[in-house]
Amino acid sequence: MTEREQRTAEAIVRAVAEAPDAQSAMTRAVAGLRAHRPEYTWVGIYLLDGDELVLGPFLGTPSPHTRIPLDRGLCGAAAREKRTIVVDEVSADPRYLACSLETRSEIVVPILDGDRVLGEIDIDSDAPAAFGPGDRALVERVAAALAPRLAP
Ligand code: SME
């Protein structure tokens, strides 16, 4: 991670840890990530509810995908596979569910409590290949900080 990514990660991790409840922890994480880079066009958190992902706090244009079954989309794939998915060009990925016609690239990072998926952080960008290793490390750090706040 660059120094700036590290500073952002530390600030968000602190804000998440100090949040009074899970809802504000998620809101703080979304706001902190959205402010990190203008290329992060849409930032949101989905929470696992049974076999669906339900949209929680987000910043950006409202998405039509407020509930995503686990067998659909990049979001479903990241939750099923319990690993980060980075897509440099969404139009080339058949799993992609369109949220905005402007979106070119996407990262989805599961929020894991051990082996259990609690939810995920989803970021869309209007720029192609917007998410490099530093972005991935940053979002994964934020997901790890959110896990204890979301674990029942
Ligand atoms: N693109 C996601 C759907 C969610 S919207 O991007 C907010 C997917 O393929 O699962």
What whole-number distance in Å separates Cα of residue 117 and Cα of residue 113?
A: 6
- Nearest C-alpha to atom 3 of ligand 1 is from which residue? 97
Note the pLDDT of residue 33.
98
Rounded to an integer, the average pLDDT of 105-116 is 97
The tokens describing 63, both together, are 């998405």
For residue range 57-84, list pLDDT tens digits in order: 999 999 999 999 999 999 999 999 999 9
Kindly tell me if the per-residue pLDDT of 152 is higher than 90: no
Tell me if 137 sits within 8 A of 12, measured CB to CB. Answer: no
Q: Whose CA is nearest to atom 5 of ligand 1?
A: 99
Look at residue 99 in the predicted model and tell me its pLDDT.
87
Q: Which CATH number fits domain 3-150: 3.40.50.10190, 3.40.605.10, 3.30.450.40, 3.10.50.40?
A: 3.30.450.40
Centre of ligand 1 from the C-alpha of residue 7, in Å:
28
pLDDT of 84 reads 98
The percentage of the chain sitting over the pLDDT mark of 70, rounded to a whole number, equals: 100
Lay out the sheet containing 42-49: strands in order across.
67-69, 52-59, 42-49, 116-125, 105-113, 85-87
**pLDDT tens, position by position, 27-58:** 999 999 999 999 999 999 999 999 999 999 99
pTM above 0.95, yes or no: yes
Q: Domain residue spans in the chain?
A: 3-150
**Nearest CA residue ID for atom 6, ligand 1:** 99
